[in-house]
Amino acid sequence: MIPDRIERRMRPTRLGMIGLGVTVGDHPKEVEYFVVGEEIAKVYGDTPTRLPVRFPWPEPEQVLHSVGYVLRKGRSVVGRCDGRQFIEIRAEGKDLVRPCQLPADDDYAQCPLKCRPSARLSVVVAKTPLGIWEVRVGGAQRIADLLGQLRLYRAAVGPLTQFPFEIERVEVQEQYFKAGGEVAWRKGYPIRVRSPYTVEEVAAIQEARGLPVALPPAPHEENILDEEEPNGEPTREPDRAMDGGDTSPSAPQRTGESGAPVAREAPIPGRDGEARDVASDVARRGSEDPEPPAAPLKLPREAKSAAPTDAPVDVSMCYKYAAECGVGADLYERYFEAHHGVRTSDAPDALVAREAAEFRAVLGSESGRLTHKSILIRRLNEALKKGARR
């Protein structure tokens, strides 16, 4: 048995950081693309605005982790706060703990100590070595928006480890407060999490699982004035990291995130057993946009139009296609007999050709394969229920 205090210190294999900005002179400046290292650049280019990813853990709070407030002095972290307790990190000895200085009844108040909101988003990038890439995200509203997106997908499709996603930079107009308190606008490039699945595909998958498509509660307010910088980070600190920022004279004077290693690394967010399911099909996904979902299958009943050639299709091909969709031989046999009312060994060529045509229509995309698997399972369940009622 592994002692808890050792297991809590477990960390994932972190390959590196994905930046949101570059340094211009002594100041950080946000850019509209992801700042990536050589391993990602050789697959997706030097300035990608979209990256296909898998999430290494099932829950949003594990994927978007190390959420809190950070106080920096130069490149060093001198304080951390979770909204309840502020921990002053002292190099010479024991840390000092005191209450958070933010008012409990004001979600939009600025910290009097100049602590800045910070979080890390962990992803596994397709076609790169297996391991974790981290994106350091700043800004209370940007962190809240990311959490909302992840919770939406968790509610709609289940554990986040089960499906591929994308992260992308999106240009928006953001509001912020100047140093004097007046409101101004500027361009920003927050991170968005996208799903390659349509609502219909999600509904089909959930229906096959016997689960409804659920959505999280709506936020209390919209279009709130946000005090954050273009990337949710400050614009002032000259030795801050390349997380982005605004160097205009009207930008607020604040201290924020640095790209240098922090004083203390966060442990692995969560110890759920599903954390090991990180990228079962990462190698199959490329840098291109996800394939469009397969069109609804409206197939003819004649074998000659279902098969690409006049030659009869052997039923063994259907087993092969089913395996590519993630359906094992035993399950496929049960589905075929229950849904079509005939054993695979006795099926006429026309029926086998129709089955093969259905598979061929979806094998070109991963989302199509997953959706067709859910369709087969749903058909099997429906056939079994009809049989039980008889």
pLDDT tens per residue across span 241-270: 334 444 333 333 333 333 433 334 444 444
Same domain flag for 97 and 148: yes
Same domain flag for 40 and 171: yes
Same domain flag for 161 and 57: yes
Same domain flag for 143 and 195: yes
Q: Does residue 298 sit within a domain? A: no
pLDDT at 15: 93
pLDDT at 107: 82
Q: Does residue 39 sit within a domain? A: yes
242's CB contacts (< 8 A; 6+ apart) are: 19, 20, 21, 22, 23, 28, 35, 259
pLDDT at 264: 40
Task: Give the alpha-carbon dihedral of 31, 37, 41, 47, to 10 degrees.
Answer: 0
Same domain flag for 239 and 326: no
Q: Does residue 245 sit within a domain? A: yes
Q: Phi and psi for 111 in degrees, rounded to 5?
A: -70, 130
Same domain flag for 220 and 99: yes
Q: Phi and psi for 138 in degrees, rounded to 5?
A: -120, 155
pLDDT at 149: 94
Residues of the chain with pLDDT under 50: 220-311
- Residue at which a domain ends, from 284, 316, 340: 284
Domain count across the chain: 2
CA 174 to chain centre: 23
pLDDT, one tens digit per residue, over 322-345 is: 888 888 888 888 888 888 888 888
Q: Does residue 297 sit within a domain? A: no
Domain that holds residue 40: 4-284
pLDDT at 388: 65
Q: Does residue 178 sit within a domain? A: yes
Rounded to whole angstroms, the Cα distance separating 51 from 125 reads: 7
pTM value? 0.55
Token representation of residue 138? 């700043």
Same domain flag for 45 and 190: yes
